[in-house]
Chain A
């Protein structure tokens, strides 16, 4: 009996020990897994750097924050990256003891830029091909570097939906962002998330190009609104032509001011003409042709076009007109499609707002537009027919001389018969007398007196 109790107690003790061992195993496992997130070295760095307000005064007196939140870093995409992978220039022996000179935040970001390339080769390459990198190379102090858009110590996965105000583009393009946040896309994004576009959806993440260059943004619109061409064809005559010559916001941003953009275009290469790097001609020529700075007139426009054609030794440079909104802000005031301009009268009547501003454009080497004003009367001038031959809007850009020709023809069409009838009426008595005289003479003589074409042909 005693023996039996002893065995039972032993068994219970065994079970308690086994349970405790199992629990210890799981706890230990969990602790070990947590350790795997951040290395000992990283933790050692964070021990000092995870202090709010930790900062360094740079040579230009800017304050560079040295604070790295452990919590944010653990949640970041860089959590498995060792500190020294990026900060390889730090010498553990002297770090924190010897003052290191950094000129400015900008110079520090520039020095760190190539570090990103080590791991992110592909996006870095597309970034380098884009407008932002071009501006950086040109020495633009405001052009964004990797760290301006990506918080390196708190980098979240792009798969995680961020609130629209967190888009890094907003920090530089604030006015445009504010317009976007209130337009149909921004409101949809805030309400429904990724089904609606945010900046990068249209302008690309790294391969950012000048929005006004080519048809880039239109392609972005069509990549989501795939049926839009066929939908427009249902109600819009010459829909494809409208798509070619008009940017989407012209109708879909109904409150926007519009303008005609006459772009210098190579009709053989089928692309917008760009200024050659190092030998800018456009501004110099435009200013020379428009000495009074009143905008280029027909002659100036023609001579400018001729000069560009002489450069290439061909006649391939033409002007390609396009209707667009006047600013980037207006391009981001897209309304609900029910409010889009559908009334043809908006553009197809003389004096339409869209044709009151005309600009001549060449692309700068980085793709951004260089503009010079053109007199709006050019669009209605016969003398400019050759220059602006590729742009025409029925009614609003009609050639005035043809209107005068129509008036003359109408006067002649109504007046000619009236004058003829009047003269006939005035001569009625002399005709009657002549007829009476003719009837008085024998018919044979009368016939001989007639001048008929078949007689003459004998």
Chain B
């Protein structure tokens, strides 16, 4: 067993801030949208909290972006520029989660410092971090002050359209926040990935794990 430094400090700060922030955004978002079902706090408190948390997470996003743009760790998102291999590896990863894992097949992904994510993670995180998260923040800012950004809102097709995009992404992230912790527990030891996101170090089985 070898320990590799897989999650640098900025990534860990970003991750946990993001995790707590997203849970709070979902909670306050549910309170805002479903006032008839949830009355934990007032509508106004929920809106104010939602706005503040949103701005904190926007700043947090730039921490993440800055870290990856100005370090070589950006490789973790796309180690090989070969779409064929990439999609094949994604398919094998899907096959593993949907079938192999039940049989006891080994995980097709082999982790190293620069190969932190399996192909499926790499693909989905790129879509999430470079498309869905920025779009969610952008629509959130538009909805924060609709009158101030009225021309942009109009360009998007109106406040109802902007809100619908925001809600659709919210629905996606609700699913993500439920499924992500479960997928993170599908390692050899259930707490392995959790521990790595706290300490930064992940235990791997063989020498090839060294980055």
Which A residues have a C-beta under 8 Å from some C-beta of B? 235, 237-238, 240-241, 243-244, 267, 318, 344-345, 348-351, 385-386, 388-392, 394-395, 397-399, 402, 405-406, 409-410, 412-414, 416-417, 420-421, 423-424, 427, 430-432, 434-435, 450-454, 456-457
B179 at the interface (CB under 8 A from A): yes
Contacts A389-B157, A423-B102, A456-B92; is A394 near B175 (CB within 8 Å)?
no
Shortest B85–chain A CB gap in Å is 5
Q: Are B174 and A409 in contact (CB-based, < 8 A)? A: yes
Docked Cα-Cα span, A243 to B147, in Å, equals: 9
User: What residues on B are CB-neighbors of A410 within 8 Å?
Assistant: 174-175, 178
User: What residues on B are CB-neighbors of A395 within 8 Å?
Assistant: 32-36, 43
B163 at the interface (CB under 8 A from A): yes
Q: Are B108 and A451 in contact (CB-based, < 8 A)? A: yes
Q: Are B154 and A409 in contact (CB-based, < 8 A)? A: no
Contact for B159 among A386, A392, A405, A409, CB less than 8 A: A392
Docked Cα-Cα span, A183 to B23, in Å, equals: 47
B48 at the interface (CB under 8 A from A): yes
Q: Are B119 and A453 in contact (CB-based, < 8 A)? A: yes
User: What residues on B are CB-neighbors of A453 within 8 Å?
Assistant: 89, 92-93, 108-110, 118-119
Docked Cα-Cα span, A434 to B101, in Å, equals: 12
Contacts A351-B36, A385-B160; is A241 near B110 (CB within 8 Å)?
no
Docked Cα-Cα span, A235 to B45, in Å, equals: 11
Q: Are B159 and A390 in contact (CB-based, < 8 A)? A: yes
Q: Are A456 and B43 in contact (CB-based, < 8 A)? A: no
User: What residues on B are CB-neighbors of A412 within 8 Å?
Assistant: 175
Q: Are B163 and A413 in contact (CB-based, < 8 A)? A: no
Q: Are A394 and B109 in contact (CB-based, < 8 A)? A: no
Q: Are B108 and A452 in contact (CB-based, < 8 A)? A: yes
Shortest B54–chain A CB gap in Å is 12
Shortest A24–chain B CB gap in Å is 75
- Of B7-15, B124-132, B164-172, which stretch is located at the interface? B164-172
B104 at the interface (CB under 8 A from A): yes
Docked Cα-Cα span, A452 to B104, in Å, equals: 14
Q: Who on chain B is nearest to A396 by CB?
A: B35
User: What residues on B are CB-neighbors of A409 within 8 Å?
Assistant: 171-172, 174-175
User: What residues on A are CB-neighbors of B42 within 8 Å?
Assistant: 344-345
Docked Cα-Cα span, A300 to B60, in Å, equals: 46
Shortest A451–chain B CB gap in Å is 6
Shortest A421–chain B CB gap in Å is 8
B: contact size bracket = 35 or more
Q: Who on chain B is nearest to A394 by CB?
A: B32
B70 at the interface (CB under 8 A from A): no
User: What residues on B are CB-neighbors of A240 within 8 Å?
Assistant: 145-148
Could you tell me which residues of chain B, from 89 to 106, have a CB within 8 Å of some CB in chain A? 89, 92-93, 97, 101-106
Docked Cα-Cα span, A434 to B182, in Å, equals: 24
User: What residues on B are CB-neighbors of A351 within 8 Å?
Assistant: 36
Shortest A429–chain B CB gap in Å is 10
Q: Are B85 and A457 in contact (CB-based, < 8 A)? A: yes
Q: Are B103 and A431 in contact (CB-based, < 8 A)? A: yes
Shortest A311–chain B CB gap in Å is 21
Cβ-closest 10 pairs across A and B: A389-B158, A413-B178, A240-B147, A431-B104, A417-B182, A344-B43, A241-B146, A427-B102, A392-B160, A349-B35
Docked Cα-Cα span, A421 to B47, in Å, equals: 37
Q: Who on chain A is nearest to B108 by CB?
A: A453
Q: Are A345 and B110 in contact (CB-based, < 8 A)? A: no
Shortest B187–chain A CB gap in Å is 13
Contacts A430-B103, A457-B80; is A348 near B35 (CB within 8 Å)?
yes
Docked Cα-Cα span, A267 to B151, in Å, equals: 11
Docked Cα-Cα span, A235 to B48, in Å, equals: 10
User: What residues on A are CB-neighbors of B174 within 8 Å?
Assistant: 406, 409-410, 413
Q: Who on chain B is nearest to A382 by CB?
A: B164
B161 at the interface (CB under 8 A from A): yes
Q: Are B158 and A350 in contact (CB-based, < 8 A)? A: no
Given contacts A397-B160, A406-B174, A417-B179, 10 further A-B contacts (CB under 8 A): A235-B44, A241-B145, A348-B35, A386-B157, A389-B160, A405-B168, A405-B171, A431-B102, A432-B104, A451-B105
Q: Are A388 and B160 in contact (CB-based, < 8 A)? A: yes
Docked Cα-Cα span, A450 to B105, in Å, equals: 8
Docked Cα-Cα span, A394 to B50, in Å, equals: 13
Docked Cα-Cα span, A455 to B105, in Å, equals: 15
Docked Cα-Cα span, A185 to B147, in Å, equals: 29
Shortest A137–chain B CB gap in Å is 37
Q: Are A385 and B178 in contact (CB-based, < 8 A)? A: no
16 A-B pairs with CB atoms under 8 Å apart are A237-B51, A240-B148, A389-B160, A390-B154, A392-B163, A395-B33, A395-B36, A402-B164, A410-B175, A413-B179, A424-B102, A427-B103, A451-B92, A453-B92, A456-B85, A457-B85
